[in-house]
Amino acid sequence: MPATFSITTDLAGQKEDPARLLPAFAAAGFAAVHWCQDWTGEPVFYDEAFAATVRELAAEHTLHVADIHGFGGTGETGVPFPDELFTAINVNRAEFAARVGASVLVLHLPPRPVPDPAQATPAALAAVRMLLPPCRELGVRLAAENLVGPAHVPAFFDALFDEFAPDELGFCYDTGHALIAGRTDLLRRYLDRLIATHLHDNDGRADQHRLPGEGEVDWPTVLGAIKGSGYVGTVNLEVHLPPAEDLLAFCRRAQQTLLTLWEKA
């Protein structure tokens, strides 16, 4: 089956107008988008009318909204929001996913930074338990994304995947986070749980969201593993638009870069 290439909607900022972005994505050759607006900062709730607008815009440009980035749990100041708000806004994101035809909600777990890494696993398990009933009802699967930090080690993900079935909780592999954290082993370890991807590059020191090939990620290994795994989700770029580059020109360069690397893998 040919790969479906996707790109995140926050490449020019979380508040960028989708009506400007989606035509450029389609013109560049992308078939899908990963909705990544409003995942941090002050909580934003999406109503039915907004979902209809996004659905119609995507359909106009023959784009599939494949997955949704959940709310991260902290504001721009780093102050954590209460558990009840984390749950409520992510239930709202799951409702939005169902309304626009997306099937995956990507989560940062635990909902907020914890002072002791040992607290991360129980906090993450509790968050997923709260979200699972409404997500099951909506037909939306959850995906735990690997982050940068001492808690995101195999024992953390093993605990999550031991408790929750594959149709309830999958894995979103973030190449940039894995490189910085020195945890590139997570991809092969959880290939059978892979349901979403955040593909981007960096120098191994900071989360720079560069195009593949502009940093230190081992792309033949990453894409070869994904390609050979039977993964059926989108091959998704989570990159940032350079300040001086035209949106459409960058999207075309991004799509061609991904296509070239994918074909070589």
Greatest alpha-carbon pair distance for the chain in Å reads 47
Give residue 218's domain range. Answer: 5-264
Alpha carbons 233 and 5: distance in angstroms, whole number: 9
The model's pLDDT over 220-239, given as tens digits with 9 standing for 90+, comes to 999 999 999 999 999 999 99
Do the beta carbons of residue 165 and residue 133 sit within 8 Å? Answer: no
At residue 76, the pLDDT reads 67
Do the beta carbons of residue 32 and residue 22 sit within 8 Å? Answer: no
> Rounded to two decimals, what is the model's pTM?
0.97
Query: What are the Cα distances from residue 42, in Å, to 9, 37, 49, 53, 189?
Result: 18, 12, 20, 22, 35
Token readout for 73 is 């749990």
The model's pLDDT over 71-82, given as tens digits with 9 standing for 90+, comes to 987 776 667 788
Q: Decide: helix, strand or coil at residue 110.
A: coil
Question: To the nearest whole percent, how much of the chain has pLDDT over 90?
Answer: 91
Alpha carbons 241 and 253: distance in angstroms, whole number: 11
The model's pLDDT over 158-197, given as tens digits with 9 standing for 90+, comes to 999 999 999 999 999 999 999 999 999 999 999 999 999 9
The model's pLDDT over 47-61, given as tens digits with 9 standing for 90+, comes to 999 999 999 999 999
At residue 115, the pLDDT reads 82
Count of structural domains within the chain: 1
Instruction: Please state the φ and ψ torsions of residue 172, each to the nearest 5 degrees.
Output: -110, 115
The model's pLDDT over 190-202, given as tens digits with 9 standing for 90+, comes to 999 999 999 999 9
